[in-house]
Amino acid sequence: MDFSAPYDTRRGPLLARNIVATSQPLAAQAGLSMLYRGGNAIDAALAAAIALTVVEPTGNGLGSDGFAILWDGAELHGLNASGRSPAGLGSDEISQRGWGSVTVPGAVSAWVALSSRFGALPFETLFGPAIDYAENGFAVSPIIARLWQLGGEALAGQPGFAECFLPNGKAPKAGETFRNPAQAQSLRLIAETKGAAFYTGTLAEQIAADAARHGSDLSMDDMANHRADWCGTIQQDYAGVALHEIPPNGQGIAALSALGVLGHFDIASLDPDSPQALHLQIEAIKLGLADAEAFVADPAHMEVMPDQMLAPDYLARRAQEIDPNKAILAQQGAPKHGGTVYITAADASGKMVSLIQSNYMGFGSGVVVPNTGISMQNRGAGFVTTPGHANRIGPAKRPFQTIIPGFVTQNGAPLMSFGVMGGPMQAQGHVQMVTRMMVHGQSPQSASDAPRWRFVAGKEVAVESTMPDATVAALERMGHKIVREAPDNAFGFGGAQLIARHGDGYVAGSDHRKDGGAVGF
């Protein structure tokens, strides 16, 4: 592994035997405190995830969905805790915001499932830091403050939003203290009842009642019938390792497809920052995203299955569609930005966790259930209205999901737990991180620091302002329509958190595009 720092960065890699990495420093410390108390990586990841619902409400909340991949010391497990649309859904219209976009939230069920099966500490212990920050307040960090302001401008009129998130009618500024006592009480109820209050008790009643007041079909039965599923993983071999993703309804298969296509090109012979290397990755992810858009849905409704999408002969044919010197068109819709949080943790016993949760677009639906601090996701916006499409909006269906935890193994052993939060950036980020680290040997921090690109639609590709002019010019000569995004739009390129095995411990990287960091001992 190369520990040089080839890119401008404010951070160096962290090497330790126990690590937590996430996008907000207080949440990272919450996770680390569980390791100090004798907890394991699962406890650490959960405490960080629970704290993030308080300290980074721009990307997640108690009304989020969640997914996880974890190595328990002996084998790999995958968890899909995403929720479904209301069983009594009476509309085929898609809403971007408001109660019409809300599906059953699953993150709380993920916490319960992970803790009960793999945790070492009592469930209620994991909530201590989050409750403290909600009740007594925390200083809002700079990047989150900016996203909070943008969310407030867009969502002030949504039910309950201003009352919860705009004290005195304004989003809190960086450094200002924010308190959410209603959320503190909800966290206590969830902790004390091991999640039952959220799905069958008083919180479920409040969610269903507010939904009914605003004409939503979400009911108590929908909440009570939700279950998190242990679903295993799907994988793709690449560069001597295997990338694991959660099976559909998530977009992780797009990253697997892209790597399967890239395996037909000699990426290792190229400089990681060369226009040719970037071009091949862009073209490969175009194909992967096109297939994901066309085929991925609730697995109970899919007609083209993952093994068909990842069949070696099919990926070989897809690779033949790529022109090594020219951008192609791949049919798919223009991706949208998203709001998500990601946590990875690893401990000295060998356990590693890749955990992601999200309200989807920043602050999700914008809906906050009165007197609870529960902000609801807008995952219903992930459905389509195309007749006959597997992901067509309908009752009791899981929508297409953008959030994906990543995990890498080598010869059946754990090698890296990682994620790149940020809507449609996520599968693209997985390809960039795996290629940089597994092919070119970059450290987690260097792979995270490198200038990023993001395929948008058609031949349009957004690049960070730090992308060298010569690289941009070369990509343009290949036919790519390059859009340079301003430095203050760095959140559009996602936030990576990575932990990789190194020696008898780990090495971690945490994205400078976020407020957080990697901490450990």
Does 331 have pLDDT greater than 70? no
Please give the pLDDT value at position 4.
Answer: 79
Please give the pLDDT value at position 338.
Answer: 56
Does 56 have pLDDT greater than 70? yes
- The question of whether 435 is a catalytic residue gets the answer no
CB neighbourhood size of 215 (10 A): 11
Does 105 have pLDDT greater than 80? yes
Please give the pLDDT value at position 7.
Answer: 85
- Sequence-distant (6+) residues with CB within 8 A of 495 are 23, 342, 420, 421, 422, 511, 513, 514, 516
- Sequence-distant (6+) residues with CB within 8 A of 75 are none
Mean pLDDT, the chain, whole residue set: 95
The most distant pair of C-alpha atoms in the chain lies apart, rounded to whole Å, by: 61
207 close to 374: Cβ distance less than 8 angstroms: yes
- Sequence-distant (6+) residues with CB within 8 A of 312 are 260
Please give the pLDDT value at position 490.
Answer: 65
Does 301 have pLDDT greater than 90? yes
Amino acid at 153: E
Residue with tokens 């200083």: 139
**Residues 308-318: pLDDT tens digits?**
999 999 999 99
Does 332 have pLDDT greater than 60? no
Please give the pLDDT value at position 336.
Answer: 42
Please give the pLDDT value at position 279.
Answer: 98
Does 90 have pLDDT greater than 90? no
**Residues 203-218: pLDDT tens digits?**
999 999 999 999 999 9
Question: Distance between CA 139 and CA 119 in Å, rounded?
Answer: 29
Among candidates 144, 88, 77, which has minimal Cα distance to 110? 77
Please give the pLDDT value at position 67.
Answer: 97
Please give the pLDDT value at position 339.
Answer: 67
Question: Distance between CA 191 and CA 185 in Å, rounded?
Answer: 10
- Sequence-distant (6+) residues with CB within 8 A of 298 are 84, 248, 249, 390, 391, 397, 398, 399
Instruction: List the single range of 32-41, 43-52, 419-428, 504-513 with lowest mean pLDDT.
Output: 419-428
**Residues 462-503: pLDDT tens digits?**
999 999 999 999 999 999 999 998 877 767 899 999 999 999
Radius of gyration of the chain (CA): 21
Question: Distance between CA 1 and CA 441 in Å, rounded?
Answer: 5
Of these residues, 53, 58, 125, 340, which one is catalytic?
340
- Sequence-distant (6+) residues with CB within 8 A of 311 are none
Please give the pLDDT value at position 355.
Answer: 98
Residue 337 or residue 100, greater confidence: 100
Does 138 have pLDDT greater than 50? yes
Classify burial at 481, counting beta carbons within 10 Å of its beta carbon; exposed 0-12, middle 13-18, buried 19 or more.
middle
480 close to 459: Cβ distance less than 8 angstroms: yes
CB neighbourhood size of 31 (10 A): 33
Confidence of residue 221 (pLDDT cuts 50, 70, 90): very high
Cα–Cα distance list, 25 to 58, 138, 435, 507 (Å)? 15, 11, 27, 18
Tokens at 340, concatenated: 């998500």
Does 175 have pLDDT greater than 80? yes
Question: Distance between CA 42 and CA 347 in Å, rounded?
Answer: 9
Domains in the chain, start-ordered, CATH in brackets?
Answer: 21-230+340-382 (no CATH), 234-337+421-520 (1.10.246.130)
- Kindly report whether the global pTM for this prediction surpasses the value 0.85: yes
363-401 burial code (b ≥16 CB/10 A, e <16): bbbbbbbeebbbbbbbbbbbbbeeeebbbbbeeebbbbb
Three-class secondary structure of residue 474 per DSSP: helix
Instruction: List the single range of 341-350, 392-401, 490-499 with lowest mean pLDDT.
Output: 490-499
Please give the pLDDT value at position 335.
Answer: 33
Amino acid at 390: A
Question: Distance between CA 514 and CA 517 in Å, rounded?
Answer: 8
Residue 489 or residue 412, greater confidence: 412
Q: What are phi and psi of 127, to 5 degrees?
A: -90, -10
